[in-house]
Structure 1
Amino acid sequence: MALKRQHNMMAAFSMASMTDVIFLLLIFFMVTSTYIFPTALEVNLPQSSQQTTKKPSIRIAIDAEGNLSTAVGDAERQPMDPAELKTWLMLVKENATEEEPTVALYADETVAYGEIVKILNVGAEVDIPIVLATKPIRDKQ
């Protein structure tokens, strides 16, 4: 009498198709991420080799100790409390003879960047554009 053999079928899950899908997704994201430019990280610092011909009508200066001084036109710089800067800029803007006064910020290279940004924000609140003043690059010969 012949005995029937029982074939036990083992259930197996093939990972080959799953790894193919994962690999294709990995390639897709790698390729598409090269086309996305992180604009928040791009920093374009101003070049100081070009100088403007227009002389600033308003000057704000910060020395290495963080002392603030201001001047209008060719007048001598006067010490200023940072809390009074917004009020002073509004008064200068109201009394300005030109349509859009030019404000230059002269900051010592050791001044913290946060202090410079605070002054730029005050200018933005008053709606006066403030530019950073730089010195020209000297040729090393």
Structure 2
Amino acid sequence: MNIRSRLRHHPEVHTGALNDILFILLLFFLIVSTLANPNVIKVSNPKAKSDTKSKQTVVVTVDKDQALYLGQKKMGIDQLETELKVFLAKETEKPSVVINGDSTAHLGTAIKVMQIIKKLGATPVMAVDNSSGR
């Protein structure tokens, strides 16, 4: 006499919840990767009460030693105008150039950079830190 059941139960792993978790992680990493800006030189920005957002065509950074960076490329003030012409020639609308200046940098260097940007027909925008870390 055959006592064993003819239908055997096969164990299954339910992956419905696992798929949800993977989808949420994928969304999280996609959002975080769009927020990260690899073209940033670390500087201590001056503080401000309000923040103005601008479409960044190019970023010019002035660090505490008055060194100028166009994106990640270090250059002198005399090279800045010719390098900026290359970037701004690709734009169809009125471009804006973000100046990311260190709070300990001399104001004269930032003003020279602003004058070069205005001379090329772009809009200079000064980046400031809007956090309330007083």
TM-score higher than 0.5: yes
TM-score (norm 2): 0.58
**TM-score of the superposed pair, with normalisation by structure 1:** 0.56
Whether 2:113 is the aligned partner of 1:113: answer no
2:90 paired with 1:95: yes
Structure with the bigger RCO (C-alpha within 8 Å, sep 6+) is: 2
Aligned to 2:67: 67
CA-atom RMSD, angstroms? 1.9
| Counterpart amino acid of residue 50 in structure 1 | S
Q: Distance in 2 between matches of 1:68 and 1:139?
A: 27
Q: Please state if 1:85 is matched with 2:85.
A: no
Q: Deviations for 1:39-98, whole angstroms, at most 9, x for unmatched residues?
A: xxxxxxxx8333334441210001101111012xxxxx11122111111111111112x4
User: What SS does structure 2 have at the residue aligned with 1:83?
Assistant: helix
Runs of 4+ in 1 over 3 A off after TM superposition: 52-55
Corresponding residue number in structure 2 for 1:48: 48
Q: Matched residue pairs, number?
A: 88
For residue 98 of structure 2, give the secondary structure of its aligned residue in structure 1. strand
Q: Give the fraction of aligned pairs with identical amino acids, expressed as a percent.
A: 19
Decide which structure has the larger Cα Rg and report it: 1
